[in-house]
A and B are shown apart, each in its own frame.
Chain A
Amino acid sequence: MTGRRLGLAAAVTALLVFSLFPVYWMVSSAVDPGANTRGAAVLPSGFTLDHFRYVLDTGDFTTYLANSALVGAGTVLLAGLLSLFAAVAVARFRFRMRTKVLLMILIVQMVPLEALVIPLFLQMSDLGMLNSLLGLTIVYLAFSLPFGIWTLRGFVAAVPQEIEEAAYLDGCGWWRMFRSVLLPLVAPGLVATSIFAFIVAWNEFIFAFTFMQNDSKYTAAVGLHRFFGQYSTDWGAVMAGSTLITVPVLIFFVLVQRRLAGGLAAGAIKG
């Protein structure tokens, strides 16, 4: 019995260390005054916010974070709206080609971004939308739609048809039913979709890196690249920037983790 408990304790410890170590190393290097010469010191040599001050003030990171937040918010709004409409269509209506549409949405999701970056770069450059945050938002919208539609489809299908019918009996039109009955019931799914869309936009690298040619338009993920020197890197600054990018995502994940797990399981098992 004690042997089993010890085994469990060892496994839990290994899991915690493996999962948390990079996060710990990032945050502790970001506040370490002597980050560059830290070596194998497990604890930082002190506590300072200088690295954060440096990236935010001198490094223009405030602009990058604002750009990322703007693109993220735009993506969330558009993706939530468009995928909810599409999800209602595929979950509530039986129409010809319904399965084909669903499959197409699933398949386009598999297309590698590296294959799209070339034609989209040329397309955006023809339209004069390189270097534009709006252009980037529209691209991210396309990337978050397939997941959004598939996730919301499950949530919409889970709302019993009888509730809708009751609303119709009470004299609601379809639009009114959609707004007052369906929307509140699928709100949790909408939250999950929004967070996914936000994270897609916040984390994306290739497109932001390729499209944005002007410093002032960089998103945070791309702006971080600037702190890399040709020969030496200021690791304190890079880790401070990384912390600023990671923290919002981390908070989102922990907030929705239970719902996320449930949604994924439902998608994997029941479809």
Chain B
Amino acid sequence: MATDRATGPTRPRPGREAGPDRPAPDPARRARRARRARALRPWLLLAPALTVLAVLLLWPLLRVVLLSFQDYGLRQIYTGETHWTGLDNYTTLLTDSALWTTVLPNTVVFAAVCVALTVITGTLVALLLQRLGRTWRIICSTVVMTAWAMPAVTGTYVWIWIFDPLGGIVSGGLDALGLIEPRETNWFTDRWSFYAIATLNVVHHGFPFVAITVFAGLLTIPRELPEAALMDGANAWQRFWKITVPTIRPVFTVVTILSTIWDFKVFAQIYLMPGGSGSNPDIFNLGVWSYHQSFVKNEYGMGSAIAVLLTVLLLAITVVYLRALFKERDDL
């Protein structure tokens, strides 16, 4: 790869310390200069990446917080004026019964169910991979990869097509069995069946990461441990809970928390489903609600307040994640 030749805007200057020296360099000063160059070099290397992150992630994050304290609509976009409203957006948001009865349950319960199913399915698949011979293991892990590789957008379209009320395979099959009347059944209008389909979609897309990571973790368990337990008469269930889980606990911590973070901010999988883009308020989650308030209703301030709420929730989970990570190892 020839990326080293590309001339980025802030490409670090090579050989700084090899610059023209004074005629009779004092060794102490030279050493100091070399030390300073050495101290500077990591920052030169970091500068481009940190600049991008600061401008495109940190500043917008700050701005969304500022916006959440404003009444920001089309008028403010065109005139450029700022209309501070203090905590009004938050008061409205937190006293809105839709938040407590619909949006928050949709976000939290959905994420919890998805994470549980993803981790259980992924772990079972990892244990299965461990029991297979070499050939079948390669076949299975390649096939699992295809589920992972499917982009969220196209995956969602395929699940919509599978559950399509008119031509989809599920309604077609159930119709052939005489179980449903396809023209009277639409799974996308009911909140529970809508989220059941979304769960299937998210779990299908998420379990390969867990399976592959847990499987890699299983490989690190010394062979003697389960063998010794087997000698002592432990059955498979006991061996799993008494040996496998404690030994690779860090792996389970990481996959659980990463899955939680991903499942909390599911957007496209909901937004693209029929009724998901706002026509059915029953199925809003925090992400879609925020987007709808901002870009459909043009209430950017209110949308920002919802987005801040989602971010705070995720931040809390992140703190738990970092705590768990640091408990496992002392230094980074």
Give me the interface of A with B, judged by CB distance under 8 Å.
8, 11-12, 15-16, 18-20, 22-23, 25-26, 29, 35-41, 77-78, 80-86, 88-90, 92-93, 95, 98-99, 101-108, 110-123, 125, 138-139, 141-142, 145-146, 149, 173-176, 178-179, 183, 187, 190-191, 194, 199, 202-203, 205-206, 210, 221, 224-225, 233, 235, 238-239, 242-243, 245-246, 249-250, 252-254, 257, 260-262, 264-265, 268-269, 271
B41 touches A118 (CB 8 A): no
B173: shortest Cβ distance to chain A, in Å? 4
Task: Report how far A175 CA is from B128 CA in the complex, Å.
Answer: 47
Partner of B267 from A35, A206, A224 at Cβ < 8 Å: A206
B307 on the interface (CB 8 Å rule)? yes
B158 touches A113 (CB 8 A): no
**Which residue of B is nearest A123, CB measured?**
B60
A268 touches B254 (CB 8 A): yes
**Which residue of B is nearest A29, CB measured?**
B161
Per DSSP, chain B at the interface is helix
Q: Which residues from B are CB-within-8-Å of A191?
A: 1
Partner of B308 from A38, A84, A86, A115 at Cβ < 8 Å: A115
A114 touches B167 (CB 8 A): no
A15 touches B310 (CB 8 A): no
Contacts A26-B158, A138-B56, A175-B15: A254 and B332 contacting too (C-beta < 8 A)? no
B101 on the interface (CB 8 Å rule)? no
Q: Which residues from B are CB-within-8-Å of A85?
A: 12, 45-46, 48-49
> CB within 8 Å of A: which of B267-299?
267-268, 271-272, 286-288, 290-291, 294-295
B105 on the interface (CB 8 Å rule)? no
B147: shortest Cβ distance to chain A, in Å? 4
3 closest A-B pairs by CB:
A265-B216, A175-B14, A39-B172
A86 touches B153 (CB 8 A): no
**Which residue of B is nearest A266, CB measured?**
B216
A246 touches B154 (CB 8 A): yes
Contacts A116-B64, A238-B161: A39 and B149 contacting too (C-beta < 8 A)? no
> CB within 8 Å of A: which of B1-59?
1, 3-4, 6, 8, 12, 14-15, 18, 38-39, 41-43, 45-46, 48-50, 52-53, 55-59
A246 touches B149 (CB 8 A): yes
Task: Report how far A111 CA is from B125 CA in the complex, Å.
Answer: 30
> CB within 8 Å of A: which of B35-90?
38-39, 41-43, 45-46, 48-50, 52-53, 55-61, 63-64, 67, 77
A138: shortest Cβ distance to chain B, in Å? 7
A89 touches B265 (CB 8 A): no
Contacts A114-B307, A174-B14: A264 and B291 contacting too (C-beta < 8 A)? no
Partner of B310 from A98, A115, A203 at Cβ < 8 Å: A115
Q: Which residues from B are CB-within-8-Å of A120?
A: 56, 60
Of the listed residues B38, B50, B173, B303, the one surrounded by the most CB atoms of chain A closer than 10 A to its CB is: B50
A112 touches B45 (CB 8 A): no
B254 touches A80 (CB 8 A): no
B329 on the interface (CB 8 Å rule)? yes
B37: shortest Cβ distance to chain A, in Å? 10
B256: shortest Cβ distance to chain A, in Å? 11
Q: Which residues from B are CB-within-8-Å of A271?
A: 325, 329, 332
A22 touches B155 (CB 8 A): yes
Contacts A8-B131, A123-B60, A242-B157: A40 and B146 contacting too (C-beta < 8 A)? no
B265 touches A112 (CB 8 A): yes
Task: Report how far A172 CA is from B288 CA in the complex, Å.
Answer: 54
Q: Which residues from B are CB-within-8-Å of A141?
A: 52, 56
A268 touches B49 (CB 8 A): no
Q: Which residues from B are CB-within-8-Å of A224?
A: 153-154, 157
Task: Report how far A253 CA is from B143 CA in the complex, Å.
Answer: 10
B64 touches A118 (CB 8 A): yes
Q: Which residues from A are CB-within-8-Å of B46?
A: 85-86, 89-90, 101
B43 touches A95 (CB 8 A): yes
B161 touches A116 (CB 8 A): no
Partner of B41 from A16, A174, A233 at Cβ < 8 Å: A174
Task: Report how far A82 CA is from B10 CA in the complex, Å.
Answer: 10
Of the listed residues A16, A88, A221, A269, the one surrounded by the most CB atoms of chain B closer than 10 A to its CB is: A269
Task: Report how far A52 CA is from B263 CA in the complex, Å.
Answer: 33
B307 touches A205 (CB 8 A): no
Q: Which residues from B are CB-within-8-Å of A77?
A: 3, 6
B145: shortest Cβ distance to chain A, in Å? 5
Task: Report how far A179 CA is from B255 CA in the complex, Å.
Answer: 35
B318 touches A107 (CB 8 A): yes
Partner of A203 from B147, B152, B329 at Cβ < 8 Å: B152
Task: Report how far A19 CA is from B146 CA in the complex, Å.
Answer: 7
B145 touches A254 (CB 8 A): yes
Contacts A22-B204, A86-B45, A95-B43: A81 and B3 contacting too (C-beta < 8 A)? yes
26 CB < 8 A contacts A-B: A8-B132, A12-B128, A15-B144, A20-B143, A23-B146, A25-B158, A26-B158, A80-B1, A86-B48, A93-B38, A93-B42, A108-B58, A112-B307, A114-B310, A115-B64, A115-B290, A119-B63, A121-B295, A139-B56, A145-B53, A173-B18, A246-B150, A262-B216, A265-B216, A265-B220, A269-B248
